[in-house]
């Protein structure tokens, strides 16, 4: 039972005693008056008063007997309840006032001392020397009624000398008429050890991840530089192949037969294709390696640059490009943004049915802190199952003969947009045209 501070423990016995006094006075006064009205003979009055006195003693004795009987029964029951609870509890429960006054069996198990030994000992003797001062200070504060956290952890020393960590909860109770400390304790040594191990494992894991990431970054950088220099080195023999096939076609066409000319043309085409592939790979690797700084960029100016780069293709296919007036400004790196738009536009021009005139519309909308640019074409479209795949390097949905390409263009788009903290996606159905959506932070 929790007792509130200032509860008046004397109030009930005081009321009972007052009631008893009032009832007794009334009884004595009125019974005397009754005796005097009933009897006039002094001998009869004395006898009646004696009987009345004995009766009063008998009734009060019976009352005292029942009160004490029921009171002690109730106290015993509640004591037994507490005792059973304490004796079977897996928690160590003990009462102390300097020395232990009560300990349950779990306390013996926790400390390694028998209950007889514990009852001869001071509570502080079990507390580990490192924590004795702290526990004493808290105990004093608790007795003074100061507000302190009732539950905390500290170390104890078992009889064998082995230190153990416990989770202790302290309170103050009345014991043998005086206030005493009531403590419960749970051995948390294993839990603490596991937590410590877990913490160490986590730390080791973090160190390992950090180390591996460093290694991986290094290897990646090496690989990128390797790919970059290889691509450069490949260009020289390629230029020789193209140059010599050109010489064959221009200066030796009269000595070559039809087959010879066809082969020379094939060599020229293949070397041109390989040149494009190397250029695309170089662009891709440049985007990965490049250290960039985002700046405020007008989308319209990046778009104009991309359109200028694609002028020949646009004129060849007589493409129609309709652009909304206001496209807004984004945080971007201009060379990459130009390349991204250029790659999407060049696909929009390329992937149309044979003989169809490419029609492209470009507009933008603002959505909380972002700008979304849409590039919509009326070309051959893309089935939804390929919407993710097309952004992977070398993923192409068509044969080289129908639509030539390297399969790197959208890979560059994705890498470039991600590098500028943006995202890219596509909405399309086969045969229904495509809309590429670029989202970047608004400037
Ligand atoms: P490439 O254009 O060199 O083939 P990309 O990486 O630019 O490579 O594109 C990957 C594939 O995505 C293309 O081969 C094509 O199948 C598909 N694709 C890209 N853009 C479009 C588009 N606007 N319309 C239809 N298909 C497209």
Q: What is the dihedral of CA 262, 265, 266, 270, to 10 degrees?
A: 180
pLDDT digits (tens, 9 = 90+) for 276-286: 888 888 888 88
Q: How many CA atoms lie less than 13 Å away from 145 in the CB half-sphere?
A: 4
Average pLDDT of every residue of the chain: 91
Average pLDDT in the 289-309 region? 93
CB atoms within 10 A of CB 432: 13
Whether 440 lines ligand 1, by a CB cut-off of 6 Å, is no
Indicate whether residue 434 lines ligand 1 (CB < 6 A).
yes
CA atoms within 13 A of residue 121's CA, in its CB half-sphere: 18
Q: How far is the CA of 267 from the centre of ligand 1 (A)?
A: 25
Does the structure show a pLDDT above 60 at 4?
Answer: no
Residue 67 CA to residue 54 CA, distance in Å, equals: 20
State yes or no: pLDDT of 137 exceeds 80.
yes
Task: Give the pLDDT confidence of 78-102 residue by residue, as tens digits.
Answer: 889 888 999 999 999 999 988 999 9
Q: Give the mean pLDDT of 312-328.
A: 94
* CA-proximal residue: ligand 1, atom 1 (nearest): 407
Whose CA is closest to atom 25 on ligand 1?
381
Using a 6 Å cutoff on CB, does residue 349 contact ligand 1? no
* Residue nearest to ligand 1 atom 12, measured at CA: 390
Which residues are CB-contacts of 160 (< 8 A; sequence separation ≥ 6)? 112
> CA angle at residue 433 from 430 to 435, to 5 degrees?
115
Please check the confidence at residue 143 and state whether its pLDDT lies above 80.
no
Task: With both helix axes pointing from N to C terminus, report the angle between 258-289 and 409-419 in degrees, rounded to the nearest 10.
Answer: 10
In this structure, of 265-279, 360-374, 419-433, the range with the lowest mean pLDDT score is: 265-279
Tell me which residue of 352, 368, 294, 417 sits closest to 425, measured CA to CA: 417
> How would residue 7 be classed by pLDDT, with cut points 50, 70 and 90?
low
Ligand 1 centroid – CA 396 distance (Å): 6
pTM over 0.75: no
Q: What is the pLDDT of residue 2?
A: 36
Report whether residue 280 contacts ligand 1, using a CB cutoff of 6 Å: no
pLDDT band at 10 (very low <50, low <70, confident <90, very high): confident
User: Strand 92-97 to strand 178-187: parallel, antiparallel, or no bridges (unpaired)?
Assistant: antiparallel
The ligand 1 atom nearest the CA atom of 377: 23
Asked if residue 16 has pLDDT above 70, the reply is: yes
């Amino acid at each position: 039972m929790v007792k509130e501070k200032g509860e008046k423990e004397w109030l009930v016995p005081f009321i009972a005693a007052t009631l008893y006094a009032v009832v007794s006075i009334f009884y004595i006064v009125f019974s005397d008056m009754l005796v005097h009205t009933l009897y006039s003979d002094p001998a009869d009055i004395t006898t009646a008063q004696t009987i009345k006195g004995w009766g009063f003693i008998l009734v009060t004795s019976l009352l005292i007997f029942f009160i004490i009987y029921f009171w002690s029964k109730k106290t015993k029951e509640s004591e037994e309840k507490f005792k059973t609870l304490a004796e079977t509890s897996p928690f160590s429960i003990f009462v102390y006032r300097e020395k232990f006054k009560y300990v349950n069996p779990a306390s013996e198990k926790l400390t390694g001392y028998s209950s007889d030994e514990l009852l001869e000992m001071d509570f502080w003797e079990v507390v580990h020397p490192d924590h004795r001062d702290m526990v004493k200070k808290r105990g004093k504060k608790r007795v003074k009624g100061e507000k302190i956290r009732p539950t905390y952890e500290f170390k104890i020393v078992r009889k064998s000398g082995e230190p153990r960590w416990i989770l202790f909860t302290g309170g103050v109770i009345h014991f043998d008429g005086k206030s005493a400390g009531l403590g419960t304790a749970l051995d948390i040594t294993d839990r603490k050890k596991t937590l410590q191990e877990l913490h160490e494992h986590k730390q080791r894991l973090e160190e390992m991840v950090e180390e591996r990431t460093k290694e991986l970054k290094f290897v990646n950088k090496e690989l990128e530089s390797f790919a970059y220099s290889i691509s450069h080195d490949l260009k020289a023999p390629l230029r020789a192949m193209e140059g010599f096939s050109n010489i064959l076609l221009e200066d030796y066409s009269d000595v070559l037969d039809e087959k010879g000319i066809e082969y020379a043309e094939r060599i020229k085409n293949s070397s041109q294709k390989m040149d494009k592939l190397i250029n695309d790979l170089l662009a891709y690797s440049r985007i990965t390696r490049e250290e960039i700084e985002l700046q405020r960029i007008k989308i319209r100016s990046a778009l104009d640059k991309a359109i200028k780069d694609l002028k020949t293709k646009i004129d060849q296919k007589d493409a129609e490009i309709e652009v909304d007036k206001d496209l807004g400004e984004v945080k971007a790196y201009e060379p990459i943004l130009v390349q991204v738009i250029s790659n999407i536009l060049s696909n929009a021009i390329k992937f149309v049915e044979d003989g169809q005139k490419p029609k492209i519309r470009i507009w933008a909308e603002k959505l909380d802190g972002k700008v979304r640019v849409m590039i919509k074409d009326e070309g051959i479209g893309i089935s939804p199952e390929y919407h993710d795949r097309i952004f992977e390097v070398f993923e192409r949905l068509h044969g080289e003969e129908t639509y030539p390409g390297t399969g790197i263009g959208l890979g560059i788009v994705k890498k470039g947009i991600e590098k500028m903290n943006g995202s890219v996606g596509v909405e399309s159905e086969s045969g229904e045209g495509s809309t590429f959506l670029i989202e970047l932070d608004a400037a």
